[in-house]
Amino acid sequence: MFACKDKKLHLVKCLQRKIRIWHEAMSPVPWKKSCEWKSAELFIGSGLILVDTNRNQSLQDIDEKCKLEYTDIFNHELLKSEYRIIVEGEPGSGKTMLASQLAYDWAQGKISDIDILILLPLRLVEKKTLIQALYELYTPQDRALSLADIQSVITDEGNNCCFLLDGLEEYNGGRDASEVTKVMKKSKYPNCKVVLTTRSNYAQGLPSCPTLKIGKFGKEQRNSYIGKVFRDDKDKQMKVQKTIEDNPFILDLCRVPVLFVLTIHNIESLERTEKVARITPFVKNIIEMLCPSMSLEFKANSGIPDKQISGKLSLAEIAYNGLCRGFQQLSWQKNFIEMNVSNSENWLDSGILTVVDSNAALVDTSDQNRTLSDSYWSSKSNTSLSGAAATSATCQNTEDMVSLNEDKKKPWFQSTATKTFLGQAGSKMGSKEAYDTGFLAKHVSLEVKFLHKIIQEWFAAKQFALMMSVLQTAKEQRKFANERLLWVDPADLHYVLRFSCALHPHCFHFIGEHLVERYCSENNIIPEFIMDCLFFCFAESGGDIGPDVIGVIVKMCKQDIRVHSGDGRLLHQAKVSLLEMASDSGISISKVYLDDVIVSVKNDVLTLNSVVTLKVLDTLTAIEVSRWDQRLEEVDYCNIVKYISKCSLLEEAYLKFPSQPPSLDKSTLLYLKMNDVKVTWNIGSRVTQKLDVSTGTWMLSEGVQLFSTEQNPSHTLKTQQLISYEGGIIAVPKTGVTLEIPSNAFLEENKHCNIEIRLLDNSNIEGNVTSLFNNSTVAVELLPNHLKLRQPAVLTLPHCLKLKHGTTYGAEVFISHHEQNDKPEWKRQHPSTYQLNEKACVITLNEFCWVKYEIDDRIIEAKKLQVYTASKKISTNAKIFKLEVGYYPDLDSAGKLLKMNRNWEVAEQKPFLFLKDGRLPLQIQFNEVVPPVWEYCTPHDNPKVISFQTIASSTESSCPFILKRHNEGPSYCVFKISQSKEYIELTSPLQVEEAGDTREDVGAEKSQFKPLCQVPSNMGSFEEPRGAVGETVLTNRTCNAAEDIYETVQHGTCEDRIQVGPSQYGLLQLHHTELTQNFYWNSERDKFPITFDDDNVEGQGLSLSYSTLNKIAMKLDQEDPLGHDWKELADELGFSMEEILIIERRGRPTITVIHSAVKRGILTCPRQLKKILQKIHRFDAAALIPD
């Protein structure tokens, strides 16, 4: 036995010896049979950036002291005291190589800050503890150190120990209660430093800690590597550098180290190939260059699986099963590959598959215990630049592999009852024989792995696309994609998704639907890394907006689209392509952020730092542009505002620059005034100026909150008061918020104190958006922050909820003590410090801070709303009248929408109780005009239905109703507001101005009601102009044409729906689309009942009213925005895939399908339709059809 000191020395020697053996045996270019370089000779470390993970940062935002080298991880002043560090990087960015180089430097004595460094590839850890994995990987065969010995050395506080954990995305040990999670939470080894490497966005569930992002391979790193590879040929170095820099696509790819290495060592072959602009054909070219004999096979087979030709598994099947089955398998035993994979010899000779030596001695398999020891280190002799190591994960029997030839009766994810170690041991005996022996062979065969994981992802995508291609119908493809994609994590395997979209024409449709449906949060926000994945997939698919993908594109355009300076050319091109095609297709684009990315503006075209250009977006509604490095000049600022003025549907523009705003010419001001664009100019964090488009002057405004990437809640209302030692009560006017401070509450040095209360904007307060609690309470900031009190103060915060009778519990109070520019860190308070009543939550505080509270959804019965009608008077000769019917939470601080539109008059306002039970939507129905001198322009859009989710997640909103005059005389309009059978009525007089009224704001053309948000109505279309989904929008630029348009619809001269689309003058357009003869639908015919012919009822027609049909369509179209249900209905009625795609483009698909089926004679009676709806499990829609 060793003494404590000897144990440590012995462990250190074992670690250093194994790390040196492994690293010095590595080959940076394993596909070359005779490699003249060592990894240490070609290693070029990418820079590291210490980032703030709570907010988006551009390179200009990052302090120079946060830009580090890999050698700074252990000794930099910002990281010295940190015990948990995460290193993030994109696929192929060199995370594994960085970890191995760091370990090698320590083994060579170059890092003195760490006594013991343990490098552990997480794919080898699996469900073991770190000590068990260390014991099996590093200790020699004589086992001089026991597990207990190693444990004592590691946990000795006198030893400065570090775990270097590589590859979180390849870890098969689970997440919630795994070894890695425990270690990162410091519940294990709290005194050990831990450095974890992972792919970007993959560590989001782990505790917050310093995060280092691996920077891109810049020009300096590229030239340094090229100089090492071609060190004796200066001309060759210059030629290679020129080849890369002259091709923007290749230049962008070379930002990723592994793709750069593949490019450099195949540069001559790439020069002879056709230039490509997408990554999929690039990788395909690389594979064909490495293995030329296989390129003919790709073309010869043309979709025929290798297994059908050779009776063996294809390499694509092996790759797919290794990545897309819910676990990570990156290596297999060589004899397994040779026996079961077609053309294995060619793949091995080419370097696509690399061979690694493995001499591991396996122990009793009946205990499922495997000894790794020397196998890992000897296996590293052919590792690529990324440093990816071979895993010893066992390979499933071929019976358990996903294949094109699998039995259709077998469930997709069924595993065989007994699993053989054939892939691991290379034995020819079956699983039963292997397990009967109790032991496997002591020495296993060589291991095989892919050149790099990106190459494996390409082959896996090839298999996925091939399996999609054999499915005949869209229904089968959707089902297959949704089942299989559950196992594909886009944070890890986004290359699989991107390659698949390029290899199969319909993959983007189903992959996009799956990602949107799975990752869209309950408040309809898609994470940015998922958005980036969708953009890449769109670009790889060819970048066309076809009828099958229109729904996905609409969902994407509803999100905030951010274009960052560090995105790279490929991502910039993908985002710009989608934005421009969406604009050309008339799809509304919600918000676009251009962060430090514009380098010049000419002729209404923005040029980004990647040399990608962005033209005017006609359907864009809001934009924010920022750049802080003073690269832009005044002429650029003028051109940016001119660009903004040309976006015909733009409502708001926020410009954030370091200098004063420019003077604008009359033409630009005219466009801005005509389009009614609000322009805000922000200098720094406080100076804000708003443009007066009438005069062209910039008006200084303080405290204006922009929509931006800032994390801090905005201060909407505040009050300030000097309080003496005698105490007092502070109330924020018209909010119900009060703070009572008792006497002698302050410390001696604070006998008098200036107290301030600020209300926080609820839209920025985190909460459960599925609960009616959301946006139903008030949150505040009490200043000065951290003020200590001798006696507790009493804070009263109101709410607008109806609670269950007798409930005095069910609330949680949270406080935060964060700095002004930091994100709140909410901490839950003890229940004894607050009490909930019917109208407010009363909280006792011992110090000043940020305060909010949440109410348990289980004790909530309803949300109290105020509903109202509002309108403006119009001139006596006007023929169009617009009203707004809206709602807001019944809080004194609410009603911002009405405050923003002070020139609109509230006609009537009533309280409304929005119930939680049943989660029923709110319906706003136009009822009648008394007397009927006006009529509703779009009766098919009545009632307007606002979902339960929308009421829960939004603060307030309103719906427009447009009326047309056909007679003279005073009248009033009646609306019904309901959630179930009970309803309330609201009225609004239709007021006209007297002839002598000289107010400027008369006429419908100036009556635009400015919304806070849009509310989806019951009839959605895929093209969403300015207002609510599917609503006919009459803006202040379009009302002049409204009368003619209405007459066109009334006389039936236009069969398509009215929509707002882009045009040069911003006028409302009619979108005429040729309907095929197979589909029978128009806006006029939808107003009348459908008649079914039923031979069983003596030839009499049975009618289905428009009201019933409208409700069925509402349920299928609105509640399922991706269209799964109506497509199933169409499929059951015998519509082909091509017909479904045409119908999808039309909008209102359910009505089109039913009309067409009746006309064709497929639907003969309502009962038949009812049975089909029940068959597709839409019992709620079927219940609308009477028996």
pLDDT single digits (tens) 816-826: 876 665 667 78
Do 181 and 266 lie in one domain? The reply is no
Q: Is the pLDDT of residue 46 over 60?
A: yes
**What is the C-alpha separation between 928 and 925, in angstroms, rounded?**
9
Per-residue pLDDT tens digits for 392-433: 333 333 333 444 433 333 332 333 322 333 343 333 333 333
Task: Give the mean pLDDT of 794-819.
Answer: 81
Q: Are 261 and 222 in contact (CB under 8 A)?
A: no
Is there a domain that residue 1065 lies in?
A: no
Domain annotation covers residue 206: yes
pLDDT tens sequence across 1100-1130: 345 677 678 878 887 887 666 666 788 888 8
Tell me whether residue 326 is in a domain: yes
Residue where a domain terminates, one of 198, 214, 230:
214
- 972: CATH: 2.60.40.2660
Based on the domain organization, do 296 and 284 belong to the same domain? no
Quick one: angle between helices 507-519 and 453-469, nearest 10?
110
What is the model's pLDDT at position 357?
Answer: 56
Residue 49, domain CATH: 3.40.50.300
CB-based burial label for 565 (10 Å; 0-12, 13-18, 19+): buried
Domain of residue 753, CATH code: 2.60.220.30
Q: Is the dihedral of CA 1123, 1124, 1128, 1129 positive or negative?
A: negative
Is the pLDDT confidence value at 752 over 80?
A: no
d(CA 349, CA 363): 32
Domain count, the chain: 7
Contact of 402 with 320, CB cutoff 8 Å: yes
Show Cβ contacts of residue 542 under 8 Å, excluding neighbours closer than 6 positions. 502, 505
**What whole-number distance in Å separates Cα of residue 880 and Cα of residue 936?**
10
Residue 441 has pLDDT above 50, yes or no: no
Span 581-604, mean pLDDT?
90
Provide the pLDDT confidence category of residue 53 given band limits of 50, 70 and 90: low
Q: Are 639 and 598 in contact (CB under 8 A)?
A: no
Percent of the chain with pLDDT over 90: 9
The full length of the chain comes to: 1187
What's the token pair of residue 1093?
């012919």
**DSSP states along 11-65:** HHHHHHHHHHHHHHH--SSTTSSS----HHHH--PPPEEEE-TTS---GGGS-GG
Least confident of 102-116, 807-821, 1127-1141: 807-821
The mean pLDDT of 296-325, rounded to a whole number, is 67
* pLDDT in the model for residue 64: 66
Query: Residue 1025: pLDDT band by 50, 70, 90 thresholds?
Result: very low
In angstroms, the CA 739 to CA 758 distance is 11
Q: What is the pLDDT of residue 627?
A: 87
Is the predicted pLDDT of residue 766 greater than 70, yes or no?
no
Based on the domain organization, do 92 and 176 belong to the same domain?
yes
511 occurs within a structural domain:
yes
**Are 170 and 134 contained in the same domain?**
yes
pLDDT (average), residues 298-309: 48
Per-residue pLDDT averaged across 230-257, rounded?
73
Q: Are residues 11 and 93 in the same domain?
A: yes
Residues 284 and 318 in one domain: no
- Of 428-432, 468-472, 721-725, 956-960, the one with minimum mean pLDDT is 428-432
Q: Residue by residue, what is the 3-state secondary structure of 1094-1154?
A: CHHHCCCEEEECHHHHHHHHHHHHHCCCCCHHHHHHHHHCCCCHHHHHHHHHHCCHHHHHH
Average pLDDT for residues 549-557, to the nearest whole number?
89
The residue-averaged pLDDT of 928-952 equals: 81
Global model pTM greater than 0.75: no
Instruction: Tell me which long-range contacts 1074-1078 makes (C-beta under 8 A, separation of at least 24).
Output: 1075/1146, 1076/1142, 1078/1139, 1078/1142, 1078/1156, 1078/1160
The residue ranking higher by pLDDT, 305 or 905, is 905
Same domain, residue pair 871 and 899:
yes
| Enclosing H/E stretch for 149 | helix 147-155
Q: Helix, strand, or coil here: 907?
A: strand
d(CA 1058, CA 1073) in angstroms, rounded, equals 11
Question: Is the pLDDT confidence value at 308 over 90?
Answer: no
**Domain hosting residue 186, numbered range:** 4-214
pLDDT grade, residue 32 (50/70/90)? low
Q: Is there a domain that residue 754 lies in?
A: yes
CA atoms in the 13 A half-sphere facing the CB of 999: 14
Backbone φ and ψ of 531, nearest 5°? -60, -45
According to the model, what pLDDT value does residue 820 have? Answer: 60
If asked whether residues 57 and 173 sit together in one domain, one would say yes
Those residues with Cβ within 8 angstroms of residue 671's Cβ, 6 or more apart along the chain or in another chain: 642, 645, 646
CA atoms within 13 A on the CB side of 798: 19
Compute the average pLDDT of residues 593-604: 90
Residue 941 placed within a domain? yes
Domain end, chosen from 679, 702, 725, is at 702
> Which of the given ranges, 29-38, 67-76, 248-257, has the highest pLDDT on average?
67-76
Which one, of 855, 850, 852, lies nearest residue 838 by Cα?
855
Specify whether 522 is located in the same domain as 668.
yes
Model pLDDT for residues 568-579, shown as the tens digit of each residue: 888 998 999 999
Choose among 485, 484, 302, 472: nearest CA to 403: 484
The pLDDT assigned to 631 comes to: 80
| Token pair of 1080 as six digits | 């029978």
> Measuring CA to CA, how many Å separate 698 from each of 347, 662, 694, 708?
67, 9, 11, 20
pLDDT-based confidence at residue 220 (cuts at 50, 70, 90): confident
Helix (H, G, I), strand (E, B) or coil at 776: coil
In a domain, 609, yes or no: yes
684 in the same domain as 762 = no
Both 88 and 206 in a single domain? yes
- The token pair at 523 is 């408040």
pLDDT (0 to 100) of residue 408: 34
Place of tokens 């590959």: 337
599 assigned to some structural domain? yes
Q: Are 891 and 972 in contact (CB under 8 A)?
A: no
For all residues of the chain together, what is the average pLDDT? 72
Pair 177, 49 in one domain: yes
Give the per-residue pLDDT at 460.
Answer: 92
Residues 6+ apart with CB under 8 A from 1162: 1133, 1134
**Gap between the terminal Cα atoms of the chain:** 86
Q: Write down the pLDDT at residue 338.
A: 84
Cα radius of gyration rounded to whole Å, the chain: 33
Q: Could you count the other beta carbons within 10 Å of the beta carbon of residue 204?
A: 11
- Last residue of a domain, which of 677, 702, 727? 702
Q: Which of 65-69, 456-460, 1061-1065 has the lowest mean pLDDT?
A: 1061-1065
- Lowest mean pLDDT across 375-379, 600-604, 779-783: 375-379
Q: Do strands 801-803 and 860-871 pair parallel, antiparallel, or not at all (unpaired)?
A: antiparallel
C-beta of residue 351 within 8 angstroms of C-beta of residue 30: yes
454: CB partners within 8 A, 6+ apart? 91, 92, 258, 259, 283, 495
